[in-house]
Amino acid sequence: MEEYLESLRRELTLRFPGREAWPLETLYLGGGTPSRLGGSGIARLLDVLRDRLSIETGAEVTLEANPEDVSTDSASAWRREGINRLSIGAQSFDDSALRWMHRTHDAAAIRRAVDSARDAGLTDLSLDLIFALPPEVHRSWDYDVTEALALEPTHVSLYGLTVEPLTPLGRWRERGTLGEIPDDQYEREYLRAHDAMTAAGFEHYEVSNFARPGHRARHNAAYWRGVPYAGLGPGAHEYDGEVRRWSVGAYAAWVRRLAAGVDPIEGSELLDAENRETEAIYLGLRTDGGVRLSEAGLARTAPWCSAGWGTIHDGKLVLTALGWLRLDSLAADLTLVRSR
């Protein structure tokens, strides 16, 4: 913890050398397991940040948490320090599926975490769930969705399992010990979750995210709108409106560079007008805000709407859940039309 906090302090000094505090409308501690720092660790982390940055009144301050890290004491400490939103990595309520995923918690720990957070006064709670597990796992997705809704979170994020090369899953697939996840299973589970969540009063406001009214993730929504953001820590990305940059991903390399007084940036890219237009289309189609279309675009997408993939409202194309399952191909097609 000491090494991590000192390295973060050095990165902040390099990146924000002036003493004028930079105001934050949202702060997201995640992309990892920051809850491992506990109550006192997160307090010290926020002290380091506040030395250079100013968290505005009313800011959304989110902490990603493993269920096993959430206790009434830790949650109370987080709340005292300004954390007002907790994102809990539930993943599944099936203990055998959790063991298969090498998670260190069980279903009971998820329920205890939610109870502890609420006892501490943290009521804005998001749950992460993974769907489209291989048939060999024998997990009931309907059960997982039902159990998640029973905990009455304010927000739910769904992520379909992907099998990447050079990972244990990838090697199992190559050896034939893990079956391919059928496309129809992926689609079926996604649409079942959409139906259940929307019937329970959630807004399906982004391809992977559901929220009760008034509880959309403000931080993530900024990404989808192309708002500039800063990123700190190993593997962090940031964007200033024109340039995207990212830091070295390996923790040890990040520490070494900062100890030597070197910016840990690993790479960057300048987004030209065409790049930004492409991203605007893709990010707009990800959300229920949609994308405004030209006459050519409206003509191109008319068959999509007939197929149930989208709707047109005030000149904007808004994808349906069925359309979001085809997001990549539809965005690519629309980008091609706009480039002509």
> Which phi and psi angles does 265 have, rounded to 5°?
-60, 135
Q: Report yes or no: 153 and 199 within 8 Å, Cβ to Cβ.
A: no
Q: Is the CA virtual torsion 209, 212, 215, 221 positive or negative?
A: positive
Contact 240, 268 (CB under 8 A): no
SS3 70: coil
> Considering only CA atoms, which of 22, 132, 39, 50 is closest in space to residue 79?
39
> Residues 147-159: pLDDT tens digits?
999 999 999 999 9
- pLDDT in the model for residue 19: 66
pLDDT at residue 227 in the model: 92
What is the pLDDT, as a whole number, of residue 21? Answer: 73
- Apex CA 130: angle with CA 209 and CA 29, to 5°? 60
When mean pLDDT is compared across 7-21, 43-57, 107-121, 306-320, the lowest value belongs to 7-21
Q: In this model, does residue 175 exceed pLDDT 80?
A: no
Q: Is the pLDDT of residue 269 over 70?
A: yes
State the pTM of this model.
0.93
CA distance 263 to 11: 7
d(C-alpha 238, C-alpha 246), whole Å: 6
- pLDDT on residue 171: 78
Q: Identify how many contiguous H helices and E strands the chain contains and give both numbers.
A: 14, 13
**pLDDT-derived band of residue 340, with 50, 70 and 90 as boundaries?**
low
Cα gap 215→211, rounded to integer Å: 6
Average pLDDT, the chain: 93
**Does the pLDDT of residue 177 top 80, yes or no?**
no
3-state secondary structure of 177: coil
CATH 3.40.50.12780 fits 2-223, yes or no: no
Lookup: tokens for 167: 């990972």
Say if residues 24 and 55 touch (Cβ distance below 8 Å).
Answer: yes
* Dist. CA 210–CA 154, nearest whole Å: 9
The answer to whether 166 touches 125, Cβ cutoff 8 Å, is no
Quick one: average pLDDT of 223-251? Answer: 94
**Would you say residue 165 has pLDDT above 90?**
no
Tell me the pLDDT tens digit for each residue of 94-105. 999 999 988 999
Residue 247 in contact with residue 236, Cβ under 8 Å? yes
In the predicted model, what is the mean pLDDT of residues 33-52? Answer: 94
CA distance 118 to 91: 20
What is the Cα–Cα distance from 168 to 112, expressed in whole angstroms?
A: 30
Q: With DSSP H G I counted as helix, E B as strand and the rest as coil, what are the percentages for the chain, rounded to 5?
A: 45, 20, 30
At residue 87, the pLDDT reads 98
Any idea where the domains of the chain sit in the sequence? 2-223, 228-270, 289-331
